[in-house]
Structure 1
Amino acid sequence: MMLTEVTGVASAALPVQALKDHLRLGSGFGADGLQDGLLEGHLRAAMAVIEGRTAKAILARQYKLVLEDWRQADEQPLPVAPVGAVASVTVFDAYGVATVLDVARWRLVADVARPKLVAHGVLFPAVPEDGRLEIVFDAGFGDWAAVPADLAQAVLMLAAEYYENRHETDRVAGLPHAVLALIERWRTVRVLGGGAR
């Protein structure tokens, strides 16, 4: 399995001003935007950590999932939530010849914890030997205003932690307890090593 971002998060979509407010950074001194690049980097790092821990895309973007075969012949879990739409489902043979699955062959179950594609009426077509499967989908809560309050607060708190301790090199790794508490309800519990979803 390989999951890649087709579209990234634009700088303008990041809550740099919200982080400045959270940090109580001063303004009006003629250098208001001087630290924006640094703050943006800390926000991106904090989002990546929280998304990794929760399997939730904080801000909306498009992903491409590449698989060697279906998880099951009648359904395929998607590794990131929430999924808003599936743009395409394509099966490639060993020579790279693509077959786009008709939308009538599948449907999206847009569960906030475990989204998946389900075969509609019949099983998914078999993936040829040495072929692959690509699913392009949109995931994320939307813009910053649409992010649930607890996840938004966790991102700001973790980004602030990174900012305030950016010069310390001997800190113990791990997330602050307050951040862990905020993201706990969003974590997906996997059983059987992820085999059952």
Structure 2
Amino acid sequence: MMLIEETTLPDAALPVEEFKAHLRLGTGFADGDVQEPVLMGFLRAAMAAIEARTGKVLIERGFSWTVTRWRAAGGQPLPVAPVTAVTQLLLRNRDEEEEVIAPAMYRLEPDAHRPVLRPGGTVLPAIPEGGVAEVQLSAGYAPDWAGLPADLGQAVLLLAAHYYEYRHETALGGGCMPFGVTSLIERYRTVRLMAGGGA
């Protein structure tokens, strides 16, 4: 299984001004833009950490997901949420020959935590022996920062500020995340009821 982010978040989509206000940084100085690349880096790191912790995509982007077999022929859970669209499904055999599957052969079953790729009929198209299925999808809560749920936006700012304040600290334990951030993202985390499972 491999998930690849096909479209990256542009710098213009990052809430740099909101972050400056959150940090109470001064404005109007001639060198006011000097810190912007640093602030963008902390914002990207905070977003990546929250997305990893929750399994949710914050700002809408395109992904490609490759699997060697379906977990079940009647439906394959997708690796991120919320998925807004499955834009393409193709099968690739061991000789790298591709077959694009007609959209009528599959459908998206939306879910806040675990969206599922369902067959248009009874089963998903069979993956060739030694081949893969590649699912192209769009996922994210909103197309831009303004549309993001307020609690997730606040969590990003809090975590980015934490990274900013402790940017010279190297003694923090692995996986350290402030309580305020974990409490804000807790309801977005996917509860795992069973261990393992095929990709």
Regarding TM over 0.5, the answer is yes
- Report what 1:152 is aligned to: 153
Q: Please, which moves more after superposition, 183-192 or 119-128? A: 119-128
Letter in structure 2 aligned against 1:163: Y
SS of 1:193's equivalent in the other structure is: coil
Letter in structure 1 aligned against 2:14: L
SS of 2:63's equivalent in the other structure is: strand
Q: Give the conservation status (yes or no) of the 8 Å contact 1:2–1:65.
A: yes
Q: Give the deviation of 1:171 after TM superposition.
A: 2.1
1:188 aligns with 2:190: yes
Q: Give the deviation of 1:53 after TM superposition.
A: 0.6
- Report what 1:135 is aligned to: 135
Q: Give the conservation status (yes or no) of the 8 Å contact 2:105–2:125.
A: no
Q: Give the deviation of 1:195 after TM superposition.
A: 3.2
1:151-170 mapped onto 2 (5 Å cutoff): 151-170=152-171
- Report what 2:116 is aligned to: 116
Q: Please, which moves more after superposition, 122-131 or 150-159? A: 122-131
Aligned residues: 196
Q: Give the deviation of 1:129 after TM superposition.
A: 1.1
Q: Give the deviation of 1:112 after TM superposition.
A: 1.5
1:12 aligns with 2:12: yes
Letter in structure 2 aligned against 1:150: D
Q: Give the conservation status (yes or no) of the 8 Å contact 1:83–1:140.
A: yes
Q: Give the deviation of 1:39 after TM superposition.
A: 0.5
Identity of aligned residues (%): 49
SS of 1:73's equivalent in the other structure is: coil
For 2:179, which of 168, 171, 177 is the aligned residue?
177
1:74-85 mapped onto 2 (5 Å cutoff): 74-85=74-85
Task: Show CA shifts across 1:156-189 (max 9, x none).
Answer: 0000000111011122331011100000000001
CA distance in 2, matches of 1:193, 1:99: 33
Q: Give the conservation status (yes or no) of the 8 Å contact 1:108–1:117.
A: yes
1:46 aligns with 2:46: yes
Letter in structure 1 aligned against 2:172: R
Q: Give the conservation status (yes or no) of the 8 Å contact 2:88–2:100.
A: yes
| Structure 1 unmatched ranges of 5 or more | none
Task: Show CA shifts across 1:46-93 (max 9, x none).
Answer: 011100010110111000001001111011111111111111001111
Structure 1 outlier segments of 4+, above 2 Å: none
CA distance in 1, matches of 2:27, 2:191: 43
Q: Give the deviation of 1:194 after TM superposition.
A: 4.7
| Structure 2 unmatched ranges of 5 or more | none
Q: Give the deviation of 1:28 after TM superposition.
A: 1.1
Letter in structure 2 aligned against 1:149: A
1:20-59 mapped onto 2 (5 Å cutoff): 20-59=20-59
TM-score, normalized by length of structure 1?
Answer: 0.96
CA distance in 2, matches of 1:63, 1:109: 17
Q: Give the conservation status (yes or no) of the 8 Å contact 2:14–2:43.
A: yes
SS of 1:65's equivalent in the other structure is: strand
